[in-house]
Chain A
Amino acid sequence: MNRSSLTRRRLLAHGLQASVAGSALGSMLPMALSSDTNPLSPRQPHFQPKAKRVILLFMPGGASHVDTFDPKPELQLLDGKDRGKDRVLSASLWGNHVCGSQGTRISNLFPEVSSCIDDIALVRSMHGDKGDHFEATLSMHSGTMAEALPGIGAWVSYGLGTQNPNLPSHVVFAESLPYAGAQSWDSNFLPAYHQGTRIVPGPEPISNLSPDATTAAMQSRELDLLKRMNQRHFSGRSDDSTLAARMYSFEAATGLQQKAPEVFDLSEESDETLDLYGIKRSDSRSFGWQCLAARRMSERGVRFIEVVDKGNWDAHSNMKGYAGLARNTDRAIAGLLKDLKQRGLLEETLVVWCTEFGRTPSAKKSQKDGRDHYKDAFTCWMAGGGVKGGYVHGATDEIGEKIVQDPVHIHDFHATIMHLLGFDHTKLTYHFSGRDYRLTGLAGNVVHEIIA
């Protein structure tokens, strides 16, 4: 075995949360702790990227394509038509309209997103392998359900590191857990610092972020003593860089403790900005608040921010719930896109809207107002980050049942995201258990048409 690489690898295995440059500790650290051995220091992708970060909006439950971004005028005319097997076609409860410079047709459920359509590339030919929530959620995140593997956020963190030592590289806003729980953002075999840090909107968004009141007043005393103790311990063991890294982790934690509340504190945001997202000043929880906090994180260098909608888009017996689901997210999503754009951030921030799978254009006769899971055709979209605005990729047939043009598998979707971030998805690999793993398994083709 190559001994120098072994050492380097062991060092990397420890993970140094933050860039050491500029810290008080910097001068004490061995040379080995320069930024190139810090696994979370910013890293260059394989080629010039279009996007520097991702905000992924995930709609659990499986958002119906024909009621959202792939509406079908034909289907509206065929309501009740028998499809055999005790199923009938089912018209959308909502009308649709044409919007944007390219005359894109979308559902009336999204009047605000409609106004941003020229920044959005719709992919109407998505398909996946699995038609139930658990498996589809894992597939949308990690590409597979057959094994527990790292999710896309962990892969992006692994590939890019972070630009801000005071914040995690990968965060997940999840007021409630999606199907498959925290497994979707687990780092699995990737080093633990790539796992998503869950943010729970509310009084303590990150676990253990703040000390209790008594401790808070005295914490600097405690940290000061700790530093002296650790320094003494380290002085007899100065060849051990992991001890230095651990000492530094307390400085990074102090940074996180100070900086993270700032991210969640919207007081410096103007009324106009809050209004863009449709939120009130007292809000600290809504999807809009989460989208705005996501923007604030993206400004501060966080690489992968996932926002999991609290709403569940599963609707077997009644689609009416979509009115509320859309209302809770429409303004916030449009606000995020507009806000990023006005700040010049949209071109380097890839916003992804995705879900587990689509829903059938038909319904059971016994549950005529609902739709069932449908993995063979659905819609996701991307905006900013180097994608073509106002573009529609792929198409389904006149009722939204079959893909008739340019199918895009989840692996292809992932490959495209990685490409926009500057990665050849076949080359961003991690050797584990005798094999090189990657996000896209053995598949994945970049959808070049979608790229501006």
Chain B
Amino acid sequence: MACVVLAAQSPLMSDERADFFETHIRPMFVQKCAECHTGNTPEGDLRIDSMDSLTKGGMSGPSVVVKDIEASLLIQRVVTDDPDKQMPPEERLTDAEIGALKKWIQDGAYWPEAEKEWTSAADRAAHWAFQPVMDPAVPDVQNSAWCRTEIDHFIAAQHADRGLTPVEPADRRTLIRRATLDLTGLPPEIEDVEAFVADQSEDAFSRVVERLLASSAYGERWGRHWLDQARYADTSGDGTDTPIPEARYYRDYVIQSFNDDLPWNQFLREQIAGDLLAKEQPENPRANQQIIATGYIALSRRFGNSAFAEMNLIVDDTIDTIGKSVMGLTLGCTRCHHHKFDPVTMNDYYGLYGYFANTQYPHAGTEHQKDRQYFVTMKKNDTWPEQYDSLEAWAVSDREKQSGDQKIFIGGDPGQRGDVARRGFLSVLSSEFPEIPKDSSGRRQFADWLTGDSNPLTTRVIVNRVWQYHFGRGIVESSSNFGLQGSKPTHPELLDWLTSDFVRHGWSIKHLHRRIMLSAVYQLASTGSEANAKIDEGNTSLWKFDRHRMDAETIRDSLLAVSHRLKSGSNGRHPFKPTSELKYSQGRPFMAVFDHEHRSVYLMTSRLQKHPFLALFDGPDPNKTTENRRESTVALQALYMMNSPFLKETSEAFSKRLSEFSSEPEQRVRHAYAVATAREPNADELKEAIEFVTDYRNELIGQGKQQPEAEQLAWTGFSRVLLSSSEFLYVD
């Protein structure tokens, strides 16, 4: 069918031919042919990774004769019914695929010009993400009056190209609410709102941003973003889901690193190889922190019921997480086969695997091996936090017995070993191999490469990710997949400009926040515009700010905060049983929900059972790295607002706050609006609220309730409504 349809179309233009090749032909070659028909000793002497090879052909003669389907052996081999000749041998191509091949040959067998040979170097040239980061000039734009910073020039240039006019700037109340929720995950205090509204100085907003960046709540908010990436959990994830009380040291390390604005390259180096850095400089006051940092690796999910069951899957989780969270590549695919779309091979994968095969992961205890093993013991020093009860870190170390490079697991099966894959980097980015000392896993070298100059992914990925959390969507929407199947950047020059600027400013995340938040585009209102929507309904060019619902933690934390119940800092050790009693079986796995009134980042996160609140409001996946939060709207969420004990307690506490503020109904309503929405109620809203409370109270009195109780219940009812309202839960 597909063949007929395609053949009926007019011949493709050259751009279309390139598109056709990239969407239909290259993926098919990679997926169906490359395993045997690439490399130095291809099957039948035929390589399919360059046009020269295809026209020259293999043992049986030329494979592709341009514009001649009949003469092209490639076609004969894919359509034949002779099982000895059919290609691919295992599984016949679909009619659509065969149709695509015929169409391709008929249209002249387009092959990208830049790629004489289809090697990783050529792919690198072909795909934007593998190219070095450029430092593009800031474009001149007509609408320069609108621009506040360099960022805006890139944005405005695209507006001009597409005929878009940015909407007006957000008003001050909206802006400070947005910025405060964005940087701290908490709503602004009334005094801060009023101070900002009154402050007409040039740098008023800049000072708001500085104040927020300096607050400890900042790390609790932005640290959580990284914990999403690091698939943070307080349990192991295996059949017993055994708790790891010390996992929280890593969580706290992440929060503190954000508050300290630890340079991103240092942050990553510590997470990959902190134990080795600490070994090099044991007297470094950060030594313990560096060890704890490798929790990022130690947190890899466990399987089965014996220690290190399915070790290959544990390591796969490590590689998959590093791939997506740091490099924006889906490396997990290459466990079993060469990547279908990206220039990543099994050699690359098992080259990385070698670092972790030589790494000793800790064991939390499981059914058939109940004792913990291989936790890393730290040295008590002056900086050791008092509330930490154990000097054991959920961290990794180099194995005592090093096994060197890893043999490839053919088809991902650890029982079938292939060639040795030398520990290296991604061949598409670097053909060099590090000098790895004999007694070392090589993670140190890997960490250096990961944060080094030859790797354009690490920096672009974090810059894009910070952008994503500010705007709801990255410049590259698929923020954990920069590969060929990922989204293309909406503003590629801006991404590179920001990335270069980020590196120039010492890999500082806080610098990046300032850059972004002081721009005009960040400060746009979220109002719609029909004219713009006609051109760019999805707002990919950012002509307005995208309104969004608070994420799960922000909802919970905001409810606690406005009702004056939020406790500062962490809750300390989760109320697990004493460490010596943390023995579970798969029949009696660890299952618990612990609640408290500290911020949600400190909630105990188990892998087999999500915290019900986080599960309901689209919280992170504790089993694997979360690219971005979703935003679902379901009836069960509404039921939670209407009926849950948590909302009831919150509303009671909020109404108490109101009654303590004033005995005057009007003052209470004004205060309620100011706290929940950062704005004044208008006259209608005031009247409506007071009538609601009056009628509610009177009805209850009619039902026999005493006046004080009825009064209190009525204000609780009003509070529940206000705190369930869209205006409270959405960020404009």
Partner-B contacts on A (CB < 8 A): 1, 3-4, 6-7, 10, 13-18, 132-135, 145-148, 168, 177, 179-183, 186, 188, 191-193, 195, 197, 206-212, 214-215, 217-219, 221-223, 225-226, 228-230, 232-234, 236-240, 242-243, 245-247, 249-250, 252-253, 255-257, 312, 314, 433-435
Contact = CB atoms under 8 A, between A and B. Distances in A.
A146 B302 CA distance: 10
A226 B608 contact: no
Nearest to B488: A1
A208 B643 contact: yes
B286 interface: no
B700 to A, nearest CB: 7
A15 B648 CA distance: 26
Nearest to B336: A442
Most buried by B among A15, A179, A233, A246: A246
Given A226-B725, A239-B528, 12 more contacts: A3-B540, A7-B537, A16-B633, A134-B589, A179-B587, A207-B612, A208-B642, A225-B721, A242-B633, A246-B633, A252-B634, A256-B639
A214 B313 contact: no
B328 to A, nearest CB: 10
Contacts of A243: 726, 730
B695 interface: yes
Interface string B574-598: 0000000000001101010000000
B724 A226 contact: yes
Contacts of B538: 1, 3, 6-7, 10
Most buried by B among A234, A257, A314: A257
A435 B485 contact: yes
Nearest to A148: B623
A381 B117 CA distance: 54
A308 to B, nearest CB: 14
A253 B638 contact: yes
A135 B695 CA distance: 57
Contacts of A238: 528
Contacts of A240: 528, 547
A242 B725 contact: no
Given A181-B609, A212-B648, A433 B634 contact: no
A14 B313 contact: no
Contact of B713 (A16, A146, A214): A214
Contacts of A134: 238-239, 304-305, 586, 589
Interface residues of B, number: 86
B549 A242 contact: yes
Contacts of B631: 13-14, 242
Nearest to B238: A134
Nearest to B533: A239
A434 B333 contact: yes
Given A192-B618, A239-B533, A433-B330, A14 B633 contact: yes
A134 B591 CA distance: 14
Contact of A433 (B241, B305, B481): B481
B615 interface: yes
5 contacts: A146-B313, A207-B639, A222-B720, A234-B726, A433-B330
B683 interface: no
B696 interface: yes
B633 A435 contact: no
Interface of B: prevailing SS: loop
A222 to B, nearest CB: 5
B608 A180 contact: yes
Contacts of B536: 3
B128 interface: no
Interface in B475-499: 477-478, 480-481, 483, 485-488, 490
Interface in B515-549: 526-528, 530, 533, 536-538, 540, 547, 549
B612 A229 contact: no
B688 interface: yes
B182 interface: no
Given A188-B621, A195-B615, A229-B721, A253 B636 contact: yes
A434 B484 CA distance: 9
Given A212-B648, A218-B699, A237-B528, A15 B634 contact: yes
Contacts of B310: 146
A191 B480 CA distance: 18
B474 interface: no
A16 B487 CA distance: 26
B26 interface: no
B471 interface: no
A237 B547 contact: yes
A218 B330 contact: no
Interface string B500-528: 00000000000000000000000000111
B125 interface: no
B245 interface: no
A183 to B, nearest CB: 6
B465 interface: no
A215 B644 CA distance: 11
B624 A230 contact: no
B633 A245 contact: yes
B354 interface: no
A3 B534 CA distance: 10
B636 A132 contact: no
A23 to B, nearest CB: 13
Question: When A and B form their complex, which 3 residue pairs have the shortest distance between CB atoms, in order from nearest?
Answer: A134-B239, A253-B638, A181-B608
